[in-house]
Structure 1
Amino acid sequence: MSESGHSQPGMYGQGRRRRRRRGDRDAGPPGQNLSGPSRDREYQPRERRDGSEDPPGPLIQKTPIILAKPPGERAKPSQNTPVGGAPVLEKPIMLMKARDDGGKPGTPPEAAAQPSGPGPSKMEREGQRPTQPVYQIQNRGMGASASSSAVDPMVGQSKLLPPEKMKHSIKLVDDQMNWCDSAIEYLRDQTDMLVVGVIGLQGSGKSTIMSLLSANTPEEDQRGYVFRAQTQEIKERGGNQSTGIDFFITQERVIFLDTQPMLSPSILDHLINNDRKLPPEYNLPHTYVEMQSLQIAAFLFTVCHVVIVVQDWFTDLNLYRFLQTAEMLKPSTPSASHDSTGSSGNDDGAEYYPHIVFLQNKARRDDFCPKNLNNMHMAVDKLMAHSHLKYKGTLSMLDCNIFPGLGQDYLATEVNMFLLPMQENDGEDNLTKAGSGTYPLFSLLPGYRGHPAFSTMVSKLRSQILAMPRCQLSHTILTEKNWFHYAARIWDGVKKSSALSEYSRLLC
């Protein structure tokens, strides 16, 4: 008994040292294999003890200990053994987890992919959590290659950012009829877009209407509109505000193209008085101005889903001749659209034609009379009878509940026509007119207009425009950036068109 009693402490100490050496060979130094400084704190008191036994139960209950295998045995982990704080399963799974703590399962790839080094991990050394959770996707069952090719969080966040918001319009075509590339930075690689262009004579209100349809309201100051309208000084000297083609895209991915006035006398006057040099293919200034207008109109007929024709009185026959000429000179564009809405001809499938909306701006009260409205629709239908442009069947004022007493079949030949009244101050003028009478009670009633308010009409027009069909512009589906490059090629082709050159030669 005494022999065994004297040899027992020595044997126990020798067996303990052997176990420690074996543990050192298997797992290395304590600072390398035991995860975290908490394990070091638990291990050091046991080194200072004598040969007496100390049960490890109370120490394990205080802080859970996670052991890590050496790098040589980490290639074939078991299903229940954690590696670097993240379990590796045989079956590959996709895991999305917020980075809450670096030592818990579901650790981001930055912490899970790092092998166990001689010291604690980076997050444990810092002793703090990240300020914001970072979400990542990792294939846990594909090994180290999947961890190294994890998705960059900055790339994923950049794809979720909203597109850059424009505050004002920029040039797509400058006053020298040259293409500008500054609009490409606002476009994205997505196909759900609508392109709306506008043409009209000088002073008809094109820029104001495009601003109201895109980003502004009638209550705002016109000096802050995205498309600059004519100032009072420009109106008094008979000048024009817009030159070339202006570009603006909304957050709803609607592209608006505002243009200089068609057949503008102020542009012709500027050419003559400033002795500007004409291109060599043009001999007379008025020929150059007309060809500029035809180039812009033919360009819009090719790259737009909707083209708004603005008039401030009904109606100018020269404007309809101009539309038919621009349609004749439009470059041929193959279209994969099978939409045959409107009075399209048999060869509508071979070429693309946009939807045309005739907007009567500054309409009077008599224009809203149902009889006059019917006459205007019949006149436009007869003038555009031989056109391939889609001028009917896609916009209706009767659907807007503007004329509640009229049935849907009142207009036998309803074209894409919309009426906008004069923009005026609806409050003070009506109170002044009504209060000037002998009945002061009438001052509390709104004045009779014969139509809804201007802001209401603009809202109804905007809803109708945004609901227009988005036909395919070319033989392939275009993204926003592809549309920009496609439009640049169309503009270059329009400027070099042999048909337009021959037509300008005949005008001389």
Structure 2
Amino acid sequence: MSESGHSQPGMYGQGRRRRRRRGDRDPGPPGQNLSGPSRDREYQPRERRDGSEDPPGPLIQKTPIILAKPPGERAKPSQNAPLSGGPVLEKPIMLMKARDDAGKPGTPPEGAAQPSGPGSSKIEREGQRPTQPVYQIQNRGMGASASSSAVDPMVGQSKLLPPEKMKHSIKLVDDQMNWCDSAMEYLRDQTDMLVVGILGLQGTGKSTIMSLLSANTPEEDQRGYVFRAQTQEIKERGGNQSTGIDFFITQERVIFLDTQPMLSPSILDHLINNDRKLPPEYNLPHTYVEMQSLQIAAFLFTVCHVVIVVQDWFTDLNVYRFLQTAEMLKPSTPSASHDSTGSSGSDDGAEYYPHIVFLQNKARRDDFCPRNLKNMHMVVDKLMTHSHLRYKGTLSMVDCNIFPGLGLDYLSTEVNMFLLPVQENDEDSLTKAGSGTYPLFSLLPGYRGHPSFSTMVSKLRSQILAMPRCQLSHTILTEKNWFHYAARIWDGVKKSSALSEYSRLLC
């Protein structure tokens, strides 16, 4: 083929001349001028595109059909084919390698010339629909040989997978009061979440309650709870099970934070008997234990939507003094504009305060008496009058139909209080009921003054999960953003000047 891109008949004529020249050294037909540079090109051996010479022998096998492209390679190159008279690409085979990896049967060898001009376009259009190669290229592009700009399907699938389910709690703050980052892998980039924390004295049942609210049922073995409860050995020696802050998140995107006991005597005893070195800013062990409890409480008041305060008897005035002190020392955090009204009705637009729930665990049957219940609500309301914590208006035992005979207006000063009875098996209650002297009532359960423990836990869970999810800061936080926000708050609590000054006054 001439380099100027002449028509197809000229190409066939040159092919005939070349066969005669190689066979019998005929200088060509008369009237044909082969002198000059053109003559030199004609009598030089034909070279392949990769630099090798044609093998000797007849070239009758090089029919025009071999010069045509395979069916899968026709449409797209024909659209970009150069116009007549334009330069021919030196290595068009590279385009075929990019699309087909040179592995399909029928791929022409590298030495095969690429036709151009009207004749080649006609061959390409024979038996070929224009849209077929396009679909083939798209299908090949979705395979393993896709370009780097294509999206990895594994990445798209990972975004659609459900979040990893936790089987047990992990540390958010360890026993040395250091922040842990292991909870980050369980968090997602979504904003619909609820953060629930818990506070309480030693042995009140905080871990058990958090396990029942999060992932377990009363019928399960306590050794399999997500928050490990006290073992019998720890109970006998008066120790504590939880240290620092434990983290657990459910599939419903509810974050539960279990904490070590407030003002724990076992932690104090461990510090004294094991001669643990105190931080330099604390001189006495009991001061260090109290400041640890205040730091945890102030932290929960800042990063939680709901804080549960657990008591196993009514009531300890030191608990309310402790809550008020932690409220005073909590970090200053801005509140959202639509969430500026405090529990007492005053406008405190500069601070965020969580909802607080007073949970009476291991309640006796007399505690469920309507008269005693009303007195308990009145006492808590008086003790929390000057607090900005949201201690009323978001949880009600009367609405749970626990007291069917009481009207909705019976508790005029109803606070966020809930009573849980002592956990016992149904077999124990039937045994106690059948131990009387009347065989007629031996199969009936004894009167307890309240529904079963499982029913009470279910009603409490419904009330807690239905609590308002107020905005924790001036910006809407995702789960991962909440984690980073909580880490900054914890660091600020440990370095708080107000807590340091309060610790100095305790000495």
TM-score class, shorter-chain normalisation, is 0.7 to 0.9
Q: Does the 8 A contact of 1:204 with 1:311 survive in 2? A: yes
Q: Does the 8 A contact of 2:72 with 2:136 survive in 1? A: no
Q: Tell me by how many angstroms 1:59 deviates.
A: 31
Q: Tell me by how many angstroms 1:82 deviates.
A: 22
Q: Deviations over 1:453-500 (max 9, x none)?
A: 000100111111111111111111111111111111111110110000
Q: Does the 8 A contact of 1:340 with 1:348 survive in 2? A: yes
Q: Residues 448 and 49 (structure 1 numbering): CA distance in 2 closer, same or farther, change over 3 Å?
A: same
Q: Give me the whole-angstrom Cα distance separating, in 2, the residues matched to 1:33 and 1:377.
A: 118
Residue 197 of structure 1: SS of its match in structure 2? strand
Q: Residues 80 and 241 (structure 1 numbering): CA distance in 2 closer, same or farther, change over 3 Å?
A: same
Q: Deviations over 1:305-343 (max 9, x none)?
A: 100000000110000000000000000011215235652
Q: Residues 216 and 70 (structure 1 numbering): CA distance in 2 closer, same or farther, change over 3 Å?
A: same
Q: Give me the whole-angstrom Cα distance separating, in 2, the residues matched to 1:248 and 1:32.
A: 93
Partner of 2:324: 324
Q: Give me the whole-angstrom Cα distance separating, in 1, the residues matched to 2:70 and 2:33.
A: 7
Q: Give me the whole-angstrom Cα distance separating, in 2, the residues matched to 1:6 and 1:139.
A: 37
Q: Does the 8 A contact of 1:136 with 1:153 survive in 2? A: no
Q: Give me the whole-angstrom Cα distance separating, in 2, the residues matched to 1:230 and 1:32.
A: 109
**Structure 1 stretch displaced more, 207-216 or 26-35:** 26-35
Q: Deviations over 1:217-259 (max 9, x none)?
A: 0001101111111111111111111011011111111111000
Q: Residues 274 and 412 (structure 1 numbering): CA distance in 2 closer, same or farther, change over 3 Å?
A: same
Q: Does the 8 A contact of 2:306 with 2:354 survive in 1? A: yes
Q: Does the 8 A contact of 1:264 with 1:289 survive in 2? A: yes
Q: Does the 8 A contact of 2:248 with 2:255 survive in 1? A: yes
Q: Residues 155 and 346 (structure 1 numbering): CA distance in 2 closer, same or farther, change over 3 Å?
A: same
Q: Does the 8 A contact of 1:397 with 1:418 survive in 2? A: yes
TM-score (norm 1): 0.73
Q: Tell me by how many angstroms 1:147 deviates.
A: 8.0
Q: Give me the whole-angstrom Cα distance separating, in 1, the residues matched to 2:30 and 2:155.
A: 39
Q: Tell me by how many angstroms 1:444 deviates.
A: 2.2
Structure 1: gaps spanning 5 or more residues: none
Q: Residues 175 and 145 (structure 1 numbering): CA distance in 2 closer, same or farther, change over 3 Å?
A: closer
Q: Give me the whole-angstrom Cα distance separating, in 2, the residues matched to 1:96 and 1:439.
A: 96
Q: Tell me by how many angstroms 1:275 deviates.
A: 0.9
Q: Does the 8 A contact of 1:396 with 1:416 survive in 2? A: yes
**Structure 1 stretch displaced more, 486-495 or 67-76:** 67-76
Q: Residues 444 and 153 (structure 1 numbering): CA distance in 2 closer, same or farther, change over 3 Å?
A: same
Q: Residues 59 and 256 (structure 1 numbering): CA distance in 2 closer, same or farther, change over 3 Å?
A: farther
Q: Give me the whole-angstrom Cα distance separating, in 1, the residues matched to 2:198 and 2:33.
A: 72
Residue 58 of structure 2: SS of its match in structure 1? helix
Q: Deviations over 1:328-381 (max 9, x none)?
A: 000001121523565245442211100000000001111111111111111111
Q: Residues 124 and 474 (structure 1 numbering): CA distance in 2 closer, same or farther, change over 3 Å?
A: farther
Paired residues, number: 507
Q: Deviations over 1:143-169 (max 9, x none)?
A: 999987443211111111111111111
Q: Does the 8 A contact of 1:197 with 1:308 survive in 2? A: yes
Q: Deviations over 1:423-464 (max 9, x none)?
A: 0111x2233233333443322222211100000100111111
Q: Give me the whole-angstrom Cα distance separating, in 1, the residues matched to 2:27 and 2:349.
A: 76
Partner of 1:75: 75
Q: Give me the whole-angstrom Cα distance separating, in 1, the residues matched to 2:96 and 2:51.
A: 49
Q: Give me the whole-angstrom Cα distance separating, in 1, the residues matched to 2:31 and 2:291.
A: 83
Q: Give me the whole-angstrom Cα distance separating, in 2, the residues matched to 1:182 and 1:301.
A: 22
**Structure 1 stretch displaced more, 330-339 or 172-181:** 330-339
Q: Does the 8 A contact of 2:47 with 2:54 survive in 1? A: no
Partner of 2:429: 430
Q: Tell me by how many angstroms 1:65 deviates.
A: 18
Partner of 1:53: 53
Q: Residues 338 and 136 (structure 1 numbering): CA distance in 2 closer, same or farther, change over 3 Å?
A: farther
Q: Residues 169 and 4 (structure 1 numbering): CA distance in 2 closer, same or farther, change over 3 Å?
A: closer
Q: Does the 8 A contact of 2:49 with 2:110 survive in 1? A: no
Question: What's the RMSD between the two structures over aligned residues?
Answer: 11.7
Q: Tell me by how many angstroms 1:408 deviates.
A: 1.1
Q: Deviations over 1:363-415 (max 9, x none)?
A: 11111111111111111111000000010111111111111111111110111
Q: Residues 92 and 71 (structure 1 numbering): CA distance in 2 closer, same or farther, change over 3 Å?
A: closer
Q: Deviations over 1:114-157 (max 9, x none)?
A: 99999999999999999999999999999999987443211111
Q: Residues 77 and 126 (structure 1 numbering): CA distance in 2 closer, same or farther, change over 3 Å?
A: closer
Q: Give me the whole-angstrom Cα distance separating, in 1, the residues matched to 2:103 and 2:124.
A: 8
Q: Give me the whole-angstrom Cα distance separating, in 2, the residues matched to 1:337 and 1:114.
A: 72
**Structure 1 stretch displaced more, 83-92 or 98-107:** 83-92
Q: Residues 443 and 121 (structure 1 numbering): CA distance in 2 closer, same or farther, change over 3 Å?
A: farther
Q: Residues 53 and 96 (structure 1 numbering): CA distance in 2 closer, same or farther, change over 3 Å?
A: closer
Bigger Rg over Cα: 2
**Structure 1 stretch displaced more, 61-70 or 473-482:** 61-70
Q: Residues 397 and 52 (structure 1 numbering): CA distance in 2 closer, same or farther, change over 3 Å?
A: closer
Q: Does the 8 A contact of 2:8 with 2:117 survive in 1? A: no
Q: Give me the whole-angstrom Cα distance separating, in 1, the residues matched to 2:49 and 2:88.
A: 37
Residue 119 of structure 1: SS of its match in structure 2? helix
TM-score (norm 2): 0.73
Q: Does the 8 A contact of 1:194 with 1:253 survive in 2? A: yes
**Structure 1 stretch displaced more, 119-128 or 274-283:** 119-128
Q: Does the 8 A contact of 1:99 with 1:133 survive in 2? A: no
Residue 165 of structure 1: SS of its match in structure 2? coil
Q: Give me the whole-angstrom Cα distance separating, in 1, the residues matched to 2:139 and 2:130.
A: 23
Q: Tell me by how many angstroms 1:181 deviates.
A: 1.1
Q: Does the 8 A contact of 1:188 with 1:479 survive in 2? A: yes
Q: Give me the whole-angstrom Cα distance separating, in 1, the residues matched to 2:215 and 2:165.
A: 11
Partner of 1:301: 301
**Structure 1 stretch displaced more, 281-290 or 91-100:** 91-100
Q: Tell me by how many angstroms 1:504 deviates.
A: 0.6
Structure 2: gaps spanning 5 or more residues: none
Q: Does the 8 A contact of 2:218 with 2:454 survive in 1? A: yes
**Structure 1 stretch displaced more, 43-52 or 345-354:** 43-52
Q: Residues 148 and 387 (structure 1 numbering): CA distance in 2 closer, same or farther, change over 3 Å?
A: same
1:505 and 2:491 equivalent? no
Q: Does the 8 A contact of 1:99 with 1:134 survive in 2? A: no
Q: Tell me by how many angstroms 1:101 deviates.
A: 20
Aligned-pair identity (%): 95
Q: Does the 8 A contact of 1:88 with 1:141 survive in 2? A: no
Q: Does the 8 A contact of 1:333 with 1:474 survive in 2? A: yes
Q: Deviations over 1:9-54 (max 9, x none)?
A: 9999999999999999999999999999999999999999999999
Q: Tell me by how many angstroms 1:76 deviates.
A: 7.4
Q: Residues 15 and 196 (structure 1 numbering): CA distance in 2 closer, same or farther, change over 3 Å?
A: same
Residue 196 of structure 1: SS of its match in structure 2? strand
Q: Tell me by how many angstroms 1:107 deviates.
A: 21
Q: Does the 8 A contact of 1:79 with 1:87 survive in 2? A: no
